[in-house]
Amino acid sequence: MSSDKKSMHNQINPRPIILFSRNYGSLLYVLFLSISLLGCTNQNERDKPNIILISVDDMGWSDLGCYGGEINTPNLDQLAQNGMRFRNFYNAGKCFPSRAALLTGVYAHDSGYDQTHTNPIRNAVTLGEVLQEAGYATYYSGKHHGIDNPYDRGFQRFFGLIDGAFNHFNPGQQREGEPPPAQKRNDRQWGIDSIIYSPYTPKERDFYSTDYFTNYALDYLEENKSNPFFLYLSYTAPHDPLMAWPEDIAKYKGKYNLGYDHIRQKRFEKQKSTGLLDDKVTLPEPTHRNWDSLSPKEQEYEASVMEVYAAMIDRIDQNIGRLLAKLEEINASENTIILFVSDNGASAEVVDLKDDDDNAPLGSIARWTSLKKDWANVSNTPFRLYKNYNNEGGINSPLIAYWPKRIHPNTFTNYPGHFIDFMATFIEISGATYPKSFKGEKITPLRGKSLVPVFKNPEMEREGPLFWEWRNSQAMRLQNWKIVRNDKNAPWDLYNMANDLTEINNIAGDHKEMVLKLNDIYINWVLKYNQE
């Protein structure tokens, strides 16, 4: 790591209280009382829980071991075993609307991120801005996917990608002695605190996004000596391009040779055996191809793709292990809540670069590879569809919540949470205040609900609706009723999520009044934004 990185700034330190009195004895008493009160304030701040929010990009619901997968994720599995797993935790179906909702506590429609990420966040505050006001040191390492520099939006330190996807080994220009890095464009904006690079070409030859996002995060925690801290660690893996270290890929050699259906069935069986899913959950018909219909060469290629994808997730877990070790080292492990989530379901999108080197090894710096829909169907087991759709395969995220002595070990919840809930949760944990205005701009009222009551009582039910709209895909959930359609002109499908988690039985025809009721609520929500 470079030694010239800027030291943490803008720490919130109380100013001394100066009181005057004609009586020197009274003056000494008042000064002593003031100093004592300041000491209590500082102690109270130190006693506030540290908060770590970890997100990954385009990872499916079943990829982690603790969510049914065969990928080696011992650190995340341990957090899940000692914490809570959500069965119904929702994103916005697409990277940048999800990340905007996570960061602000309001829908992407509120902050101007429902259609594009090429404008500043509006009418909203960030987690960094709110928690910094509550006395927290605020750190951000990883992907942002916006236009604002997080350093200017409440984060005292920032390292990472400001806009979209990039080459994991080299986001910038070709380095001497290396092949050209495969990428859609090499002018992605990259920030290190206040400095913006476009392109950013790391001088370190061991650069790999997951490793270096962690490196900076660990440095930030090492710098912090007094304040409670909030760390947002936002990995870009396993979003394409699928790239991983050879030693990690080697661990999965041959693991996927039996194909899509074999892995999907094994994951579903594990989900049921561990209690993640109950016996009434049914696995929908697959949308992946029949493995036996592929030629031996195609099978070899497809198995290799999944080997790289698995290696990327394995590497994420390794780095979370480094983070957990750092918490132990700085004596913060017992007073830190850790939340881990994926920004949407696995992706069926395909990137086909004209100048990609098809002869380069899969997973290497010179070759851009996408997961594609067959493996995405497996990755999202047991759900239907993928990223960009508002069926469960697109919007249901694995969420692990770990908080020593505050969350009972190995618990599950059916509570329908959402990315908009992170802000309300952290406000309750930190004692922060959500503002009505910020820097002269009116702020959208908080949309989410705190998850802290759910941590205490996993059987809680959510009151009020949740909404989704991304391009032509729309959905709404109210209690256990969910309407969804992937064409705005099509009729709604209706599902009872209490007994049909995988959206197999469309019961709209049997519950027309419920469809009309939910439709009216949804239309009023959409009209609100169209009128503003």
pLDDT digits (tens, 9 = 90+) for 303-345: 999 999 999 999 999 999 999 999 999 999 999 999 999 999 9
| Encoded amino acid at 288, one letter | H
Contact between 335 and 272 under an 8 Å Cβ cutoff? The reply is no
212 CB-side CA count, 13 A: 21
Residue among 167, 123, 161 at smallest CA distance from 142: 161
**Does residue 471 share a domain with residue 446?**
no
CA angle, residues 318, 324, 327, in degrees to nearest 5: 150
Residue with tokens 């017992």: 334
pTM above 0.85, yes or no: yes
Q: Would residue 319 count as lying in a domain?
A: yes
Instruction: Tell me: pLDDT of 13 over 70.
Output: no
Residue 467 covered by a domain? yes
Point out the domain boundary residue: 428, 462, 496: 462
Domain membership flag for residue 240: yes
> Per-residue pLDDT tens for 52-82?
999 999 999 999 999 999 999 999 999 999 9
User: What mean pLDDT do residues 159-183 have?
Assistant: 95
User: For residue 28, is pLDDT > 90?
Assistant: no
CATH number, domain at 506? 3.30.1120.10
Cα–Cα distance for residue pair 377/381, rounded to 1 Å: 7
Number of domains the chain contains: 2
Euclidean distance between CA atoms 519 and 499, whole angstroms: 21
Centre a 10 Å sphere on the Cβ of residue 109 and count the other Cβ atoms it contains.
23
The verdict on 387 and 469 lying in the same domain is no
Q: For 104-108, what is the mean pLDDT?
A: 98
Last residue of a domain, one of 462, 492, 520: 462
Q: Which amino acid is at 223?
A: E
Answer yes or no: is pLDDT of 370 > 80: yes
Give the domain-ending residue among 462, 482, 504: 462
Supply the range of the domain harboring residue 506.
463-532
